[in-house]
Structure 1
Amino acid sequence: MSVQAEYQQKRMTAADAIHVVKNGDTIVVPTGVGEPPALLTALSDVRTRYQDVKVSQILPLRKYGYIDPETTQHVRHVAYFFGGVTRPGGQQGWVDFHPSYFSEMPMLINRGLMPADVVFAMASPMDEHGYFSLSLGPDYTMAAIAKARAVVLEVNPNVPFANGACHIHISKVTALTESNDPLLEVGLPKIGPVQEAIGKYVADMIPNGATLQIGYGGIPDAVVMQLTHKHDLGIHTEMIGDGIMTLVEAGVVNNSKKNVNNGKMLATFALGSNKLYRFMHRNPALEMHPVDITNDPYLAGQNDNLHCINATMQIDFMGQCGSESLGAVPYSGTGGQSDFVRAANRSNGGKAFIVLPATAKDDTISRIVPTLSAGTHVSTSKNDINYVVTEFGVAQLRGKTAKQRCEALIGIAHPNFRGELREAAKKMKLL
């Protein structure tokens, strides 16, 4: 049978395609824009027909009908990472959570420690050889495809056909449906004077020839905006967004100094504009790979001068970062922060930056604290922390004693809180 004939045989409506799902199944969905809206809408429409079906995903971007506290006995979301649409359910207890390093999720799926019975994913149109590209999020999805009983694709002509280990052959597809809706676009975050100040401190410490991992947020984007005068930068990251594309267009990124995948940008999911998605299409300078390739600390750390930029919400005197919860209340997830902090620490000449505004709630709360709030989920440990950057400066903590760390962190706290932080440090015998 030709690949075109097989395609037509497996082509059906979204309502028919979801019939592969059985009671008790876990459906794995790619990160963010890689989620297939027609399939998840069809599942939502008939969710009460099912019992104990789970949908597992990092960062869902749309509030589908199944994300519903009244029908969790039928279809329930299990978060790998909380986003805006699942955070309320996580905080109220009707959305469950899978803690893990992003880089280890394919291994956990492969070993059966995280279930993957069915995969729903967005895909590019099929090429002449019978291959689709899961360019928007190969992440953990490629591992789930290898493990799953059934793979259902939503084929959309707006999905780029990217290079890398992100392809699936029609013979491995159980069913497919077609859509042509525009891809979801995610705009750039707001950048204010605090973000600009932090971004300048970080940008000034990034040398020509560095390889970058840049997360999502106002501060990482503020860093990107201040790198346009650099030369010979490389990209080895988990997320590719419009900021990185802008650096490429400015001639700043050529990947010529990378030790691993020289000449190529690597990422595991995309989040941005339609211009970004067009930029990804058959771009020979970009490869999309599973997260156990992009985020593995050993592999990423083989690049010299790996500079990684990630944000936190709170940091204590020892350097522990609470980046994914507000006290015991879940907010996001570990994501790739721990992976890339460890990768940069391994890298010859590498720097791991943890960035945060010094205060929250209109300067009424210090984000630098003597001890993390009770129940806070620690994302980056005291043994991994290196550079911490606020709008008031840079504290380099790796290799420093507890007393030295405390002094350095108080030095980059908001001036209004330095006095009380010093008093607390004296009571803790750190000063």
Structure 2
Amino acid sequence: MGKEKDKKDIQDWKKRFNVITASVEGAVKSISPGNRVLIGTGCSQPSLLVKGMTDRAQDLADVEVIQLLTLGDAPYAKKELADSFRVNSFFVSESIRDSISQGFGNYTPIMLSDIPRLFSNGQIPLDVCLIQVSPPDNRGMCSLGISVDIIKAAVENSKIVIAQVNSRMPRTFGDSLINIYEIDILVPVDEPIMEIPAAAVDEDNKRICEHVAALIENGSTIQMGLGKVTQIVAGYLKDKKDLGIHTEMISDGIVDLVKSGAVTGRLKSVDQGKIVTSFCMGTKKLYDFIDNNEMFSFRRTEYVNDPMVIGQQNKMVAINAALEVDLTGQVCADSLGTQFISGIGGQADFNRGANRSNKGKSIIVLPSTAKDGKVSRIVAQLTPGGGVVTTRGDIHYVVTEYGAAYLHGKSIQDRVMALISIAHPDFRAELLKKAIEYGYVVPSLAEVEGKLYVSPRELTTTMLLEDGTKVKFRP
């Protein structure tokens, strides 16, 4: 019965709008050797079209595959297909990391807000755009659903647009609509939208989230960047009031946060009452929640990530992840030494926007160690070859499971001592020794080497101020 209904629905919109559809195999024949092909973002990746393109590898050569964020399989990124396809990505996800580290793929580091301009000004002209949309409504408008981000600009600047028209794609509000006649080739499908289950949470993650939650005031507008810890912070904000959301990405955590009543958007300076985002990655729970939900406004990256727009919000809080932070406050978020791990993403956009905001805060989160506690993530100097995504001048807070260090407006010596205090205890003495060696702190501090001590969490006390602010004290 379900398949018969799907066929009838397809026939209905085909007839109503007098459009011709194609099979996957027929659609990808429009891709020619030497083309530049953009693939839809994250969970909105049109997997059937991607497979169809890859299956044509023997007929293609020098096809450049442009992508923002790829999840799941990336069959075109295999080394044996390097003569047919070459990846050029704005974010290095796991599925293409080997391709880039071995030199047969490329990573283009760029702020998320700047990517659409690469298409519109012709710096990266697009030949083909492979996307996924919902079926058209009565006006002939399809929805980009869970992924508007850079896709809206890509559609407007691509010579050929090929779309999987998926009956299971949620319809979203904001800037997500595209006229059916703007799509050159329509491929009807009925496939589950890709899902990303919530990450497992350990004790260190919980403590980081508790520290972050303590920094967020009622009435704040929140951004939660890409990363395991940043996306689970939402679960620790349910006792807040009148929160707003302005973020490039949302995940399943937003559902329970909204249902708790903590998110109203009532006090937002811009887009009052709306949860503004550009794409989402999660499970069916999330996709069902955003479907035809007017509270959510999916907007273009060039709007969502514009530091000028972000900075208009009062109490804007940007929460982003790092791989390493050095003792002066430089943040490395896209590489470990010379190996690219992720990307710049929206971290710089949102940190600068939050710093412009009235009572805004930028927060960098990271576990204190890596490799099962063998390596400190708070380091005397960044691993050689590592890139700085957030400069020491842009940083406000750094948070680990051991606490929060406030760095903005602080001297190098003050920063060093604050960061050492939230480093893992096993590495504090060595970090202090290095800081003295580099001249970051006065030599007399050598007398406390090996004696630096931060009290346990059990000794933390709290005080509730008259304005409702909760202050934590830790000896």
TM-score (structure 1 length as normaliser): 0.97
Matched, 1:30 2:40: yes
- Hey, which bits of structure 1, 4+ residues long, moved more than 6 A? none
Partner of 2:319: 309
The alpha carbon displacement at 1:19 in A equals: 2.0
Matched, 1:62 2:72: yes
- Listed as ranges, the matches of 1:125-144 within 5 Å are 125-144=135-154
Moved more, 229-238 or 67-76: 67-76
Query: How many residues end up aligned between the 2 structures?
Result: 430
1:284 corresponds to which of 291, 294, 303:
294
Partner of 2:276: 266
Partner of 2:457: none
Three-state SS of the structure 1 residue aligned to 2:439 is coil
1:12 corresponds to which of 19, 22, 32:
22
Partner of 2:342: 332
Q: Is the 8 A contact 1:199 1:219 kept in 2?
A: yes
Q: Is the 8 A contact 2:205 2:401 kept in 1?
A: yes
The verdict on how the C-alpha distance between 1:89 and 1:258 changes in structure 2, with shifts beyond 3 A counting, is same
Three-state SS of the structure 1 residue aligned to 2:436 is helix
The alpha carbon displacement at 1:22 in A equals: 2.1
Three-state SS of the structure 1 residue aligned to 2:408 is coil
* Relative contact order, higher structure (CA 8 A, sep 6+): 1
Q: State the Cα deviation string for residues 248-278 of structure 1 (Å, max 9, x = none).
A: 1111111111111101111111100111111
- Listed as ranges, the matches of 1:48-87 within 5 Å are 48-87=58-97
Q: Which AA in structure 2 matches 1:372?
A: L
Partner of 2:256: 246
Q: Which AA in structure 2 matches 1:173?
A: I
- Listed as ranges, the matches of 1:84-233 within 5 Å are 84-233=94-243
The alpha carbon displacement at 1:42 in A equals: 0.5
Q: Is the 8 A contact 2:74 2:96 kept in 1?
A: no
Output the CA distance in 1 between the equivalents of 2:58 and 2:74: 14
Three-state SS of the structure 2 residue aligned to 1:422 is helix
Q: Which AA in structure 2 matches 1:93?
A: G
Output the CA distance in 1 between the equivalents of 2:187 and 2:150: 22
The alpha carbon displacement at 1:222 in A equals: 3.9
Q: State the Cα deviation string for residues 95-115 of structure 1 (Å, max 9, x = none).
A: 211111011111121111223
TM-score (structure 2 length as normaliser): 0.88
The alpha carbon displacement at 1:399 in A equals: 1.1
The alpha carbon displacement at 1:334 in A equals: 0.7
Q: State the Cα deviation string for residues 329-361 of structure 1 (Å, max 9, x = none).
A: 111111111111111101111111100111111
Three-state SS of the structure 2 residue aligned to 1:10 is coil
Q: Which AA in structure 2 matches 1:87?
A: R
Q: Is the 8 A contact 2:44 2:193 kept in 1?
A: no
Output the CA distance in 1 between the equivalents of 2:85 and 2:334: 25
Three-state SS of the structure 2 residue aligned to 1:85 is helix
Output the CA distance in 2 between the equivalents of 1:255 and 1:372: 38
Partner of 2:428: 418
The verdict on how the C-alpha distance between 1:196 and 1:13 changes in structure 2, with shifts beyond 3 A counting, is same
The verdict on how the C-alpha distance between 1:365 and 1:166 changes in structure 2, with shifts beyond 3 A counting, is same
Q: Which runs of 5+ in 1 are unaligned?
A: none
Based on CA coordinates, which of the two structures has the bigger radius of gyration? Answer: 2
Q: Which runs of 5+ in 2 are unaligned?
A: 1-11, 442-475
The verdict on how the C-alpha distance between 1:3 and 1:187 changes in structure 2, with shifts beyond 3 A counting, is closer
Output the CA distance in 1 between the equivalents of 2:74 and 2:58: 14
The alpha carbon displacement at 1:6 in A equals: 7.5
Q: Is the 8 A contact 1:102 1:291 kept in 2?
A: yes
Using the aligned pairs only, state the percent identity: 37
Q: Which AA in structure 1 matches 2:297?
A: E
Q: Is the 8 A contact 2:14 2:20 kept in 1?
A: no
Moved more, 382-391 or 73-82: 73-82
Moved more, 2-11 or 272-281: 2-11
